[in-house]
């Protein structure tokens, strides 16, 4: 989007440094994942992203609290298979309905509401939707809100801003859509700051009853945990609907809050993610690290504006 940096709360000259650092971390994880068998050392990783080893180690530890290689241990197939088995134990112990009581130190309280038939049919006629672009721990995001209900949250690269907004305007082409950075910044801060975890966030989504059922199941996968597509199908009581579950996960309109990144393949591999494999790895790994560290309220996750 032209002048996007200016629109992001008046930052006219440069992308916020913490947002820049996220993309450096993301680039490093991509390189490490592609070359894990070769076990590249810190100097080589830093060189690949045009940084000194000291500076790279510092920004990586600032972002997650661990060295790059230690962080990657949270993304191995063996570790993720172990996490799937933990979820399996909860399902077979008939505790799945109580998943929301697990690890709530970090989880947000999220409620999903479907749009009304009128809102769906008229593509938002009579609605005002406000939007903004903001930095987060996982890169730039697009967020859109109506009457305090979040209708869209997507992670994007800077050059995708125009296309993202255009697609959203097509989806809600009869709504009044306006940019209000200060308003949406408050929501983004609320979402990505751990001290706000007792707040309730309302989502307003377009979806079939089946899709909404899947999305409701996803918000009950605990922070720091993962589930397979098969397990999600079992959670909603339709164990044979694995492929349909995958489709519903793939069209999730409010990423992160409806945590589709926590759904992986049954064999422990990452599977696909609309916003890129590396971003999914960073989300899963960071949540696992924070969960294991038992980080409590007040930990600032927000990056940039």
Query: Residue 33: how many CB atoms within 10 A of its CB?
Result: 14
Measured over the CA atoms of residue 25, residue 30, residue 31 and residue 32, the dihedral's sign is positive
Q: Which residues are catalytic?
A: 260
Buried b (16+ CB within 10 A) or exposed e, 34-68: eeeeeebebeebbebbebeeeebbebbeebbebeb
Cα–Cα–Cα angle for 59, 62, 66, nearest 5°? 100
Q: Quick one: residue 140, left, alpha or beta (phi over 0 = left, psi -120 to 50 = alpha)?
A: beta
For residue 188, give the H/E element and its range: helix 181-192
Distance CA 236, CA 12 (A): 47
Q: How far from chain centre, in Å, is Cα 89? A: 25
């Amino acid at each position: 989007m032209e002048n996007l940096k200016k629109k992001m709360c008046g930052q006219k000259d440069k992308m916020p440094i913490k947002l820049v650092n996220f993309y450096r971390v993301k680039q490093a994880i991509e390189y490490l994942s592609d070359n894990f068998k070769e076990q590249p050392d810190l100097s080589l990783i830093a060189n690949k992203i045009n940084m000194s080893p000291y500076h790279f180690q510092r920004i990586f530890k600032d972002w997650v609290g661990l060295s790059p290689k230690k962080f990657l241990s949270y993304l191995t197939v063996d570790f993720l298979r172990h996490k799937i088995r933990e979820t399996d134990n909860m399902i077979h112990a008939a505790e799945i309905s109580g998943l929301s009581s697990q690890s709530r130190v970090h989880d947000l309280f999220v409620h999903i509401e479907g749009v009304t038939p009128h809102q769906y049919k008229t593509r938002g006629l009579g609605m005002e939707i406000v939007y903004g672009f903001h930095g987060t721990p996982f890169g730039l995001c697009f967020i859109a809100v109506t009457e305090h209900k979040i209708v869209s949250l997507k992670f994007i690269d800077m050059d995708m801003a125009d296309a993202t907004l255009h697609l959203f305007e097509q989806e809600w082409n009869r709504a009044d859509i306006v940019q209000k950075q200060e308003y949406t910044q408050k929501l983004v801060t609320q979402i990505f700051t751990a001290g706000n975890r007792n707040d309730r966030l309302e989502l307003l989504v377009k979806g079939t009853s089946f899709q909404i059922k899947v999305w409701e199941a996803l918000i009950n996968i605990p922070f720091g945990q993962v589930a397979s597509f098969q397990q999600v199908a079992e959670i909603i009581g339709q164990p044979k609907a694995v492929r349909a579950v995958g489709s519903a996960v793939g069209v999730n309109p409010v990423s992160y809050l409806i945590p589709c990144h926590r759904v992986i393949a049954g064999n422990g591999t990452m599977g696909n993610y609309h916003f890129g494999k590396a971003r999914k790895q960073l989300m899963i790994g960071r949540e696992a690290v924070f969960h294991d560290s038992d980080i409590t309220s007040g930990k600032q996750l927000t990056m940039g504006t």
